[in-house]
């Protein structure tokens, strides 16, 4: 009838001119290639060992806030890790562990992927100590390396902020400095990572 034909005609014009987008390929989705920017992380691939030292606060400054008779706090750390491509090269996976003192270790897992809209690397990290962190990494503007910023939450729900830089000394050596600001104040650790042969 006339009413039905009018409604169908209106519906066609609404869909054609208002709601519908220009013609597009409605076939199966095609998997995109890894972002070319991921190649900037190529130098991270491999197995690494590292040593670090807490430079702020100093051991003497920490002792001032500890009960009398306490053992000297640990200020040097060591660990190992491995970085490799995963998810068809769309992500860099890094995992490893490091000494936390008193015979304890922390094991971590981190992913880095290129964010095409933000134009920088998005990072996600977790650890077996209940930490969850999200951050950003960009090429350093004044050195051959990367700078990172991020925020994390520990198992108790405390929040902390981390920022730092990693510099490529050569293809087998990275120097780095990271500062963490959280419930225990500000702590800065400097260290060096060496490629395992």
pLDDT tens per residue across span 130-166: 999 999 999 998 889 999 999 999 999 999 999 999 9
Q: Give the C-alpha separation, 184 to 182, whole Å.
A: 5
Residue matched to tokens 């014009």 = 13
- By C-alpha distance, which of 77, 50, 76 is closest to 192? 50
Contact assessment for residue 31 and residue 165, using Cβ atoms and an 8 Å cutoff: no
Q: What is the pLDDT of residues 60-109, one digit of tens each?
A: 777 777 777 777 777 899 999 999 999 999 999 999 999 887 788 999 99
User: Helix, strand, coil: what percent of the chain each, to 5?
Assistant: 20, 50, 30
Chain centroid offset of residue 29 CA: 28
Residue matched to tokens 């995992």 = 95
3-state secondary structure of 22: coil
**How would you classify the pairing of strands 91-101 and 173-182?**
unpaired
Q: Give the C-alpha separation, 10 to 142, whole Å.
A: 61
pLDDT at site 25: 67
DSSP state of 155: T
On the question of a cis peptide bond just before residue 9, with omega within 30 degrees of 0, the verdict is no
Predicted TM-score of the model (pTM): 0.79
């Amino acid at each position: 009838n006339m009413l039905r034909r009018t409604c169908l005609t209106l519906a066609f014009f609404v869909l054609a001119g208002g709601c519908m987008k220009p013609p597009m390929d409605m076939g199966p989705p095609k998997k995109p290639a890894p972002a070319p920017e991921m190649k900037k992380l190529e130098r991270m691939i491999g197995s690494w060992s590292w040593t670090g030292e807490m430079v702020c606060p100093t051991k003497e400054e920490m002792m001032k806030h500890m009960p009398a008779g306490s053992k000297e706090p640990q200020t040097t750390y060591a660990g190992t890790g491995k970085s490799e491509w995963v998810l068809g090269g769309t992500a860099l996976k890094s995992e490893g562990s490091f000494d936390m003192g008193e015979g304890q270790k922390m094991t971590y897992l981190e992913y880095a992927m290129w964010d095409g809209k933000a134009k920088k690397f998005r990072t996600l990290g977790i650890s077996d100590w209940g930490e969850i962190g999200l951050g950003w990494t960009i090429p350093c503007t004044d050195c051959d390396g990367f700078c990172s910023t991020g925020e994390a939450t520990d198992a108790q729900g405390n929040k902390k902020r981390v920022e730092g830089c990693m510099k490529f000394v050569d293809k087998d050596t990275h120097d780095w400095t990271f500062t963490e600001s959280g419930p225990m104040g500000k702590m800065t650790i400097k260290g060096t990572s060496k490629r395992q042969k």
